[in-house]
Amino acid sequence: MIDWKDKREFWIAGARIADPEAERIRVGSVCVQKGRIAEIVWQKSVETDLPVLDAERFVLAPGFVDLHAHLREPGYEEKETIETGSAAAAAGGYTSVVCMANTNPAIDDPSVVEYISCRAQQVGRCRVYVAGALTKGRLGEIINEYYHLKRAGVVALSDDGAYVTNSQVMRSALEYANLHALPVISHCEDAFLASSSQMNEGYTSTRLGLKGSPAAAEEIAVSRDCMLAQLTGARLHVAHVSTAGAVELVRRAKKKGTRITAEATPHHLTLDDRLLDGYDANLKVNPPLRGVKDVEALRAGLLDGTIDCVATDHAPHSEIDKDVEFDEAPAGMIGLETAFAQLHTELVAKGVIDLLDLVKLMTIKPAATLGLPGGRIAREAPADLVLIDPAEEWTFEKRLIRSRSKNTPLVGARFTGRVQGVFLEGKWQSAV
Ligand SMILES: [Zn+2]
């Protein structure tokens, strides 16, 4: 589209500016200088000597913030690297992502945090924030040295991919995390109930003869962690909420004043377990796609604020990993490149939420959830911006995928609304 890479000082003129803080979408123009937003004026055109990008067709919003991505490096570079993961993020409109700790080695040591931060900076396509592991090796037994992890720059703590089974360990983890003002992100799933499950437990799993994971596996885990958050006063963030019961538990905990937040993924908000009929391993995710009622409850949770934000749980797996018997395939799908288009198509275009709500759920709300900078469009803020054509109709094709892995059930999907690219500190990266 636009060859805008080398311009460092310019105007983006006439865009519909989605400002999640001011809660409005309004036509205006933005001046970018030295990587920052130098000025915003509420007029369609500007008189200037600087180059002008005519953005009348587009919506300009703060770059998206993802609280939950698996970038796989170090250790699983055949699935994803910081470079390919950052490129996928930028192509999806993200300028900030938080990467999860289930790498090899796990992010349980400051040296791993430093490695990831340095590598992300070298690549320079997206800001990468790091979630440190809650326990050593993510084994759920011994808590890490949070002081050192925090000094190395972690923004949250999580054993994501695994639930901390031992309640005493989780209590200590929450208490120490709280001392260091670090939020704890919990992957809520009772490991015994969910053991060797392939999908959601229900009508479809019975019909397909696949072992299911009951909603109770998630809800028991969410209940316990809500109670422990209340007991300790610590900040708890529930990752990938997927059941109606879990939404209700978070709602009640919030009412009681527990310091809890929650996220939902684009796939849990738009897909349900009936799709597994064709045994497509790309639909095998953890927590599994649930029933229609759960999808409805998640959407209601988005609308009433029980669910604070959208997070992708971008989980790359290589083709050889996934191209096996359904039972053997690892769980996870990629999501960074389709999150906006999928949600815009299924929720905004169908009138469930409006565009500004979606922008909030992908910018200021996730940023506020973990206390990250970003998600704002304001004078002096870094020029981390996304340019969107909300009217473009397009087909998501495999050849477009920037991620090293292609495990998504959405290849061939028709979308309305497309990210055109991002400015990261004013530097343009095209997505089309
Ligand atoms: Zn998880």
Place of tokens 């304001």: 378
Determine the Cα–Cα distance for residues 75 and 81; give it in Å rounded to an integer.
9
Catalytic positions, written as ranges? 313
Asked whether the beta carbons of 273 and 289 are under 8 A apart, the reply is yes
Determine the Cα–Cα distance for residues 55 and 40; give it in Å rounded to an integer.
14
Provide the Cα torsion 403, 406, 410, 415; round to 10°. Answer: 30
- The pair of three-digit structure tokens given for residue 351, joined into one six-digit string: 């009138």
Q: Which residues pair with 39 in a beta bridge?
A: 31
Q: What is the mean pLDDT of residues 248-257?
A: 98
Q: What is the pLDDT of residue 2?
A: 53
Beta carbons within 8 Å of 207's beta carbon, 6+ residues apart: none
- The fourth-level CATH superfamily of domain 9-60+381-430 is Urease, subunit C, domain 1 (2.30.40.10)
Mean pLDDT score of the chain, rounded to an integer? 97
**What are the tens digits of pLDDT across the range 138-158?**
999 999 999 999 999 999 999
Residue 131 C-alpha to ligand 1 middle, in angstroms?
12
Residue 424 C-alpha to ligand 1 middle, in angstroms?
27
For residue 5, pLDDT over 80 is answered with no
Number of C-beta neighbours around residue 75 at 10 A? 13
- The pair of three-digit structure tokens given for residue 136, joined into one six-digit string: 């050593």
Q: What is the mean pLDDT of residues 404-429?
A: 97
For residue 84, pLDDT over 80 is answered with yes
Asked whether the beta carbons of 412 and 397 are under 8 A apart, the reply is yes
- The pair of three-digit structure tokens given for residue 112, joined into one six-digit string: 């791993």
- The pair of three-digit structure tokens given for residue 176, joined into one six-digit string: 């120490």
Extract the runs of DSSP E, i.e. beta strands, from 235-360: 236-238, 260-264, 309-310
Asked whether the beta carbons of 291 and 271 are under 8 A apart, the reply is no
**What are the tens digits of pLDDT across the range 10-54?**
999 999 999 999 999 999 999 999 999 999 999 999 999 999 999
For residue 386, pLDDT over 60 is answered with yes
For residue 4, pLDDT over 70 is answered with no
Residue 99 C-alpha to ligand 1 middle, in angstroms?
12
Q: Calculate what percentage of the chain has a pLDDT beyond 70.
A: 99
What sign does the CA torsion over 116, 310, 298, 226 have? positive
Kindly provide the b/e burial profile for residues 37-48, where b requires at least 16 CB atoms within 10 angstroms of the residue's own CB: bbebeeeeebee
Distance of CA 21 to the CA centre of its chain: 20
Residue 67 C-alpha to ligand 1 middle, in angstroms?
11
For residue 1, pLDDT over 80 is answered with no
Q: What is the mean pLDDT of residues 407-421?
A: 98
* Alpha carbon separation from 173 to 104, 136, 230, 241 (Å, rounded): 21, 11, 14, 21
pLDDT band at 7 (very low <50, low <70, confident <90, very high): confident
Q: What is the CATH number of domain 63-370?
A: 3.20.20.140
Asked whether the beta carbons of 70 and 106 are under 8 A apart, the reply is no
Residue 286 C-alpha to ligand 1 middle, in angstroms?
7
Q: What is the mean pLDDT of residues 378-395?
A: 97
- The pair of three-digit structure tokens given for residue 321, joined into one six-digit string: 């990993």
Residue 162 C-alpha to ligand 1 middle, in angstroms?
7
- What are the helix (H) ranges across 47-186? 82-91, 110-123, 146-152, 167-179
Residue 380 C-alpha to ligand 1 middle, in angstroms?
35
Provide the Cα torsion 174, 332, 220, 276; round to 10°. Answer: 170
Please, where in the chain does CATH 2.30.40.10 lie? 9-60+381-430
- pTM for this predicted structure: 0.97
Determine the Cα–Cα distance for residues 126 and 271; give it in Å rounded to an integer.
28
H/E segment holding residue 208: helix 203-208
Residue 100 C-alpha to ligand 1 middle, in angstroms?
9
**What are the tens digits of pLDDT across the range 110-138?**
999 999 999 999 999 999 999 999 999 99
Helices (H) and strands (E) in the chain, counts: 13, 18
Asked whether the beta carbons of 134 and 143 are under 8 A apart, the reply is yes
Residue 187 C-alpha to ligand 1 middle, in angstroms?
5
Residue 217 C-alpha to ligand 1 middle, in angstroms?
13
Residue 269 C-alpha to ligand 1 middle, in angstroms?
16
Residue 374 C-alpha to ligand 1 middle, in angstroms?
24
Instruction: Give DSSP secondary structure letters for 310-332.
Output: E---B----HHHHSS-GGGSPP-
Residue 164 C-alpha to ligand 1 middle, in angstroms?
12
Residue 116 C-alpha to ligand 1 middle, in angstroms?
20
Instruction: Give DSSP secondary structure letters for 374-423.
Output: -S---TTSB--EEEEEEEEEEE--GGG--SS----TTTT-EEEEEEEEEE
Determine the Cα–Cα distance for residues 350 and 385; give it in Å rounded to an integer.
25
Q: What is the pLDDT of residue 425?
A: 96
300 burial via Cβ count (<10 Å: 0-12, 13-18, 19+): middle
